[in-house]
Structures are given as structure tokens and as C-alpha cells.
Copies of this chain bind each other. A is one copy, B any other.
Amino acid sequence: MQKKSAIPDQEPQCSVDFAFQRIGGKYKGRIIFHLDLGITRYGALRRSIVGVTPKMLTQALRELEADGLITRHVFAEVPPRVEYALSEAGAELIPFIRLLRDWGEKQMEKQGKPSLSKLGLLPHILEEAHEETV
């Protein structure tokens, strides 16, 4: 089976289009965001990204990999360990993702939605990121 990227056979019509073809979809933004937070293992991502199913997570990760935004490192261990990391191109999206997150937080507050990062939820997530193999 060949590696399949998210990209339809359609040529991007401009650079914005090009970018959205790669980071569009329901989970890719959040995946990049979490990788940046230091959450790198498949299982950790699965637990952090609320609502994602194994199928969709794997699919999104494969596409990001095929598009050169992340790398995948398999450790020959048991039980298996796979770590994902942002590639150089992927890392360059970080400022962008941060802007987006800031914008989102601001808008959520304006709409009276409590911003999650103010509720002590992030610390719990970050804990996981820094857990040693227990």
C-alpha cells in the first residue's frame, strides 16, 4: 500500500489553499498543537485529543507524515513505542498554531465560554507529556 497524503488530486490554487490542504481536517491542527506541547506518543495523543478514534488519529498522523510535517520514530521495544515529532516544515507552523490558539481563546472568552487553559486542564495534560515511563 502506498502512502497516501490528505491531498486530493487537486492542485492547490494558491499558497493558502496549499496550506489548508495539509492542515485541514478535524484533528491535524490539534495534533500539531499537542506535538508542540511535548505530547509525542501515539497513546498520549490519543488520550489528549478528546474524541479522536484510533483510526482517525492514525490516518491523520500518516497524512501529516506523508506531507512531511511530522516524523515517525518506531522503537524496537515491547510493548511497542512510537514517537512522533514535528519536522522542520511542521515546526514552522507553530507560530501559526499559537496565533490560532490565542485567537480562539479570545473569541471563546468573548462568547462567555470558559477558556480551558484557565481551568487547570492544561496542567493535567502537560503532566502526561513529562511523565517518564512509569
User: Could you list which residues of chain A lie within 8 angstroms of chain B, going by C-beta atoms?
Assistant: 12-20, 24-26, 29-30, 33, 49-51, 89, 92-93, 95-97, 99-108, 110, 113, 115-117
Contact = CB atoms under 8 A, between A and B. Distances in A.
B50 A16 contact: no
Interface SS majority for chain A: helix
A13 B51 contact: yes
B15 A108 contact: yes
22 contacts: A12-B108, A13-B49, A13-B50, A14-B33, A14-B101, A15-B108, A15-B117, A16-B101, A16-B104, A17-B29, A17-B104, A18-B107, A19-B29, A19-B101, A20-B26, A20-B29, A20-B30, A20-B100, A92-B106, A96-B96, A96-B100, A96-B103
